[in-house]
Amino acid sequence: MAMYTLMSPGGSPGVTTTALAVTYAWKGRALLAECDPKGGNVLPGLLAGSMEGHESGLLELALAAAHDSDPAVLWRHVIALDQEAREWLLLPGLRDPRHLVQLDGAWEALIKVLRAAQDTADVVIDMGQIGRVDTPMSLISASDLAVMLLHPTVRHVAQARPRLNALGRHVGTDVPIELCVVGNGPYTLKEVRSALYDLPVLGWIPDDARAAAVFSDGEQARKSFHRSALVRGAIALGEAMRRRLASRREVSR
């Protein structure tokens, strides 16, 4: 199993919604870890505040992991998003971004428990926007694959270039960095790839406001939800992520 990071250059391409869709459609046990320094969105979004009093998440895990070296400590801080099946799991993010300072020096302990989780689940990290001074770059460096989501627009491509440059300098060749295009715009997928250093485009997530609202705002899912354009795009992206990593591992043998 593996650890994947989803991120954006800014401009709200829907990292959390895509990460939720990918883990929802994942073949096998998947854990979504909300590690966006700006805070978590799933509890007030997908769960529509129904777990407002929930007291476990990224911060609580960090504090616990600092005093408990048992990797199993992670599972005391996650939520099953598929009721009791525990195949679709969430590590909620910060409830208040002002608590980020309390994670200083804790990222290595968090990385250790998230890496250990791969024994029983694939881990998808929602990093949100990167390029800020508070971006936990060590977490991206610990990933097996990093995917930048962006709209196919001039503005998003311009935002992505310096962030991809900085990320490439940080992780080198240890972590493959790839792209996922979200929605429509003046650039084709081929043009996005050409404009961004010929990085592979792993997938395309279509505009699908009705299905996206289920993940972002807890709207009632229709019977056809599992066949929606968003879910189909998420299935394809998840499969491409697994294939890319499997291919890389095969080459490195």
Query: How many CB atoms within 10 Å of residue 162?
Result: 11
Domain count, the chain: 1
Q: 0.75 cut: is pTM over it?
A: yes
pLDDT score recorded for residue 161: 96
Q: Token pair 């616990």 is at which residue?
A: 64
Domain of residue 137, CATH code: 3.40.50.300
Q: Which domain holds residue 106?
A: 3-252
Q: Give the integer Cα–Cα distance in Å for 253 and 248.
A: 9
Q: Spell out the per-residue pLDDT of the chain, length 253, in tens.
A: 899 999 999 988 999 999 999 999 999 999 999 999 999 999 999 998 777 667 789 999 998 988 887 888 999 999 999 877 889 999 999 988 898 988 888 899 999 999 999 889 999 999 999 988 889 999 999 999 999 999 999 999 999 999 999 999 999 989 999 999 999 999 999 999 999 999 999 999 999 999 999 999 999 999 999 999 999 999 999 999 999 999 888 777 6
Q: Give the integer Cα–Cα distance in Å for 47 and 214.
A: 9
Q: Which residues contact 221 (CB under 8 A, 6 or more apart)?
A: 214
pLDDT score recorded for residue 53: 65
- Check if the beta carbon of residue 208 is closer than 8 Å to that of residue 228: yes
